[in-house]
Amino acid sequence: MTKKQRALQIIERLKEEYPQADCTLEYDQAWKLLVSVRLAAQCTDARVNVVVEGLYEKFPDVEALANAPVEEIEEIVHPCGLGKSKARDISACMRMLRDEYDGKVPEDFDKLLALPGVGRKSANLIMGDVFGKPAIVTDTHCIRLVNRMGLVDGIKEPAKVEKELWKLIPPEEGNDFCHRLVDHGRAVCTARTKPYCDKCCLQDICKKAGV
């Protein structure tokens, strides 16, 4: 079985196992997803979803957050960890949205990358979830699982993993596939315990590399 064939089978089986492929960060506007994905670095999505409630209560739109003192942002987002750098990036990002994009999130990958605190993972998430464009989000779940499954061989750098996956995953499948990897990584192919290979829908086609 080639990597491409394995990838297509994995996609289909994960679709059956996790039919609802959604981002676990809660948002109702594009700029809020930008804020949440920055806060999610080294923090759980569940905690981010709680913390941003207080942030948006005090600063309900791009303009308000752009004008907010960085210290006040930091005070609210502190529970997510790395509060100083995250607050600084969020403030700078919101100011850039206000000053250059009329408060709107740009629908362009390179323009997203130019926003403070936005890397390839965040830009891909925005492109896929907000704008419905082809995207591959190489978060920690994705990198761990695609190595275990044998879709990539011992590659840990997010950009390199993304590049390899673009060769294997149909563009229209990439975004949902990565969301399903998160679900599968939490429920079955776990990081902190031995993975539950006996109840895995992929057990007969997975390489189980490093397990």
Residues designated as active site: 121, 139
CA distance 126 to 75: 26
Both tokens assigned to 169: 């995953």
136 membership: H or E segment, kind and range: none
CA neighbours closer than 13 Å in the CB half-sphere of residue 11: 19
Measure Cα distances from 94 to 4, 79, 127, 148 in Å: 40, 20, 18, 38
3-state secondary structure 52-113: HHHHHHHCCCHHHHHHCCHHHHHHHHHHHCCHHHHHHHHHHHHHHHHHHCCCCCCCCHHHHH
Task: Give the chain's count of helices (H) and strands (E).
Answer: 11, 0
Residues in the chain: 211
Do residues 138 and 158 make contact, with C-beta atoms less than 8 angstroms apart? yes
Please state whether 208 falls in left (phi above 0), alpha (psi between -120 and 50) or beta: left
Both tokens assigned to 24: 């676990």
